Structure 1
Amino acid sequence: MNDIRASVIIPTKNPGMIFQDVLVAVTSQKTDWPFEIIVIDSGSKDGTIEFVKQFPQVSLIEISAIEFGHGRTRNLAISKSNGEFIAVITHDAKPVDCHWLANLVSCAEHDERIAGVFGRHIAYPSASIYTKRELELHFEGFDAFPIVHLQDKSRYSNDVGYRQFLHFFSDNNALIRRSVWETIPYPDVDFAEDQAWAKLIIEAGYHKAYSKAGAVFHSHDYTLFERFQRSFDESYAFRRFFGYILCSDLRSGIRSVSALSWRDINFAKKTGLLKGSPGVVLHAVIDNVMRVFGHYLGAKGDRLPAAIVKRISRDKKLFAQ
């Protein structure tokens, strides 16, 4: 009889040294029940495979880079797992403490209607002040609504913001219920597989939960071009999979840049950052330009030549290496 309560799935691809801390933190989790860890690697060449093999309690699945797909690869790993619950994190998301896994499972146990739980992201201590602030503001928005489900179908049909809030989900740090996954697996998409899955479970009538306590360290200080690439991928995916247009035209883009930059400059004034580190503030303003420009081009991604999309996309480059 299977007594594995939870399975932890970690997809890897050349994660670098940060993954070593992540795997140690995962293996150090304290629970009242057995759990398993599965690493699924898609062609790492940086010593990741050799490092994983040092942990006899960790199962390793190796696939080629060409086989990788955000939804497809996670589905494969889950199909090889045994847990009633499946925690899914990325190779650069480090649990903040030894109770991370127990906290996620406890949140899901609250109600059998909960199909998935996503946990808080905390910026790494070395992250920039604006990266830290962005994550704090984003996840504070879920504190008042730790469990949600589709209550107003009319609003869901007409209010884009409401739809986005209901299906926000991040498998950088998440837990899903196996019994739900068996009928609603991850869609085989090339980006935003987590939110595409959450949309399906919300529309199927399940609940979604947020765990503030089940937190990981996860953040990126993108270069300006990386910010543009990331925003392009996000906008292109959201247009294709959800019908959202994150930036419809240059006029709305200018308004967005102005609003974001005004917010960041005001923050800099209040904290003394504007006087003490004006270069950091200038970088934040240019970052806003790159973010919105990426959203603008991503919304028009279907009209761009495939070669241009491949060149712009950060995600396609990362997993084609």
Structure 2
Amino acid sequence: MLCSIIIRAFNEEKHIEKIIDGIQNQHTIHDVEIILVDSGSTDNTVLLAQKKGVKIISIAPEDFSFGYALNKGCDNANGDILLFASAHVYPVYTHWIDSMLRPFTDEKVALVYGRQIGHEKSKYSEKRLMAKWFPGYSNYNQQHPFCNNANSAIRKKHWQQQMYDESLTGLEDLDWASKIIAQGYKIAYEAEAVIVHVHEETNKKIYNRYYREAIAFKRIVPYAQFSIWSFFYLLSTNVFSDYYYAIQDRVFWKNFLDIPTFRFFQFLGTWKGYNHTGNIDYSLRAKFYYPNNFLRRHEHVVIRAPRIEYSSNNT
């Protein structure tokens, strides 16, 4: 079964070689094609990818949306399975692709998404978000449409029947998943398919990310609501939660200012994006915003696959 890996990129010369190296160190590399959808990079992103034998699809910057870039990549892919990865992620283990493909043995599974962990440069609150959204235990029959296209895979035949919404400002993955669940298919979360997600965002970029995702979520869920009370409540509870874990991890003072700053811009962007209309589904609200349950503990999968050894030239 051929797997096509589709990477969306814009000015990612700092990271692009690392993800390609990670892919080329997989056990199943002979069954993989790599496609880079570049939206007008002005650095060496395309040149570096070409040197490693990657297929390049170029789109104009003014045409870009997350859905449009994905649709272009899918349309040019030959694989039965389409695996999506951000340009600033990289796999941790040599069985990443194998793990992403495993749940597809169930014909009812239409989408698989894998675990994401933060980079050492990631903000502490970002790492806490990833720990909540991408836990260390798998779920092959998830009941809600949460997923993330920084590390996910779908069947091409399902994409041919339902392409990504190119008009959304984000969350095209959640929109697609919602529609596929409505058709009776399954979503699987695979905890063994681990990637490191490198986010090095300014406060403005944090604000913009959550702002556009809130706008998109309101499009997907028209009755969505995020009041000023929600802003203050979730800001305070998440800062408290992050401080609690930072103390446990003995990094409290190192992140004393970064934690409230990140959470402030996260929820400010969310509040602005929702614009106070309607209600929001509780299960998705909890998945996106609420802090971890302090008392809940789960068994984590034990991964025995070899780790990928990246060269010192890669960050």
> Please, which moves more after superposition, 280-289 or 116-125?
280-289
- How far the C-alpha of 1:144 sits from its partner, in A, is 6.0
2:265 corresponds in structure 1 to 290
Whether 1:299 aligns to 2:274 is: yes
Paired residue for 1:44?
A: 41
Instruction: Report the CA distance shift for 1:244/1:291 in structure 2 as closer, same or farther (over 3 A).
Output: farther
Describe the shift of the 1:61–1:297 C-alpha distance in structure 2 as closer, same or farther (beyond 3 A): same
CA distance in 1: counterparts of 2:6 and 2:211, whole angstroms: 27
Structure 2 match to 1:261: 239
CA spacing shift, 1:143–1:244, aligned 2, 3 Å: farther
Question: Could you state the TM-score of these two structures normalised by the residue count of structure 2?
Answer: 0.81
Between stretches 264-273 and 33-42, larger displacement belongs to 264-273
Partner of 2:90: 94
Task: Report if the CA contact (8 A) 2:121-2:199 is conserved.
Answer: no
Matches within 5 A, 1:266-285: 266-274=244-252, 276-277=253-254, 280-285=255-260
Whose helix fraction is larger, Structure 1's or Structure 2's? Answer: 1
* Rounded Cα–Cα distance in structure 2 between residues aligned with 1:223 and 1:63: 26
Q: Unaligned 5+ residue runs, structure 1? A: 150-165, 303-321
State the identity %. Answer: 25
- Residue pairs, 1:160-309, within 5 angstroms: 166-188=144-166, 189-243=168-222, 245=224, 247-248=226-227, 250-274=228-252, 276-277=253-254, 280-300=255-275
Paired with 2:193 and 2:248, the residues of 1 have a C-alpha distance of 31
Report the alpha carbon displacement of residue 290 of structure 1 after superposing the two structures with TM.
1.9
**Does structure 1 retain, via aligned residues, the 8 Å contact 2:213–2:273?**
yes
- The one-letter amino acid of 1:147's match is N
TM-score, with length taken from structure 1: 0.79
Residue 30 of structure 1 pairs with residue 27 of structure 2: yes
Letter in 2 for 1:214: A
With 253-262 and 80-89 compared, the bigger mean Cα shift is at: 253-262
C-alpha distance in structure 1 between counterparts of 2:249 and 2:97, whole Å: 35
For 1:227 and 1:63, the matched residues in 2 are separated by 25
Aligned mates of 2:29, 2:90 — CA distance in 1 = 21
**How big is each residue's C-alpha offset from its partner over 1:2-56, in whole Å with a ceiling of 9 and x where there is no partner?**
xx52111112111131111111212222218622111121111101121122123
Pair 1:113 & 2:91 matched: no
Q: For the pair shown, which has the larger CA radius of gyration, 1 or 2? A: 1
**Deviations, residues 209-260 of structure 1 (Å, cap 9, x unaligned):** 0111112111424333322222211211111222253522x22321222211
Q: Is the 8 A contact 2:115 2:195 kept in 1?
A: yes
Q: Deviations over 1:146-190 (max 9, x none)?
A: 3225xxxxxxxxxxxxxxxx1111110111011211112212233
User: Could you tell me whether the CA contact under 8 Å between 1:87 and 1:173 is conserved in 2?
Assistant: yes
> How far 1:128 sits from its partner (Å)?
3.6
> Structure 2: which amino acid aligns with 1:65?
P
Runs ≥4 residues deviating over 6 A: none
Q: Give 5+ residue unaligned stretches, structure 2.
A: 278-315
Aligned equivalents of 1:283 and 1:17: distance in 2?
24
Pairwise CA distance, 1:296: 1.2
Matched AA of 1:31:
T
User: Size of the alignment, in residue pairs?
Assistant: 276
